Amino acid sequence: MTTFDEVVQLIHEKFGVESGNLSPDTTLTEFGLDSLTLVELIFAIEEHFGVEITDDADIESLKDLATLIDELRSAKKS
């Protein structure tokens, strides 16, 4: 499973958003997240992937989010 697929699965399980409605280009606000639910999503991502996403991270789409997670994980391994 790719990181993107894992993110989609997490969003589906946590927020009940249908996986079919989520593509790599879907923006984080597009499926109904507001500033509070976005914070909760980032928290869930951090817990799930064991990474820490800083407040200044440049994330617009789910693709950006998956890429950042991969970068943080590989940085952690090295």
Partner 1 sequence: MSGREVVVTGLGLMSPHGNDAATVFDELMRGRSAIRLFERPGLPSAVVGQVEFDATQWFSRLQLVGVDRVSQLAVAASESARRDAAWSDQYASERIGVFVGSGMGGAATIDEGYTALAAGKRASPLTVVASMVNAPAAHVAMRIKAHGPVLTYSVACASSAAAIDAAARAVQEGDIDIAIACGSEALILPNVIRAWQALHTLASPDADDPSASCRPFAANRSGFALSEGAAAMVLESRAHAESRGARIYAAWAGSGMSCDAAHLTKPDADGQARALRLALQRSGLEPNEVGYCNAHGTATPIGDVVECNALRAVWGESIDTLRVSSTKSMHGHLLGAAGALEAAITVLALYEKQIPPTAHSHPADPACAAPIVRGQGVDAPDLTAAISSSFAFGGTNIVLVFRAEASR
Closest to partner 1 by CB, 2 vs 47, is 47
- String of b and e for 36-56 (b: at least 16 CB within 10 Å)? eeeeebbebbeeebebebeee
Q: Report 48-77 residues binding partner 1 (CB under 8 A).
A: none
Verify binding: residue 9, partner 1, rule CB under 8 A: no
Question: Could you tell me the smallest distance in angstroms from the CB atom of residue 52 to partner 1?
Answer: 11
Q: How far is the CB of 16 from partner 1 (least distance, A)?
A: 3
Q: Please tell me the distance from the alpha carbon of residue 7 to that of residue 71, in angstroms, as a whole number.
A: 15
Can you read off the two tokens belonging to residue 12?
Answer: 């589906």
Nearest distance from residue 41's CB to partner 1, in Å? 8
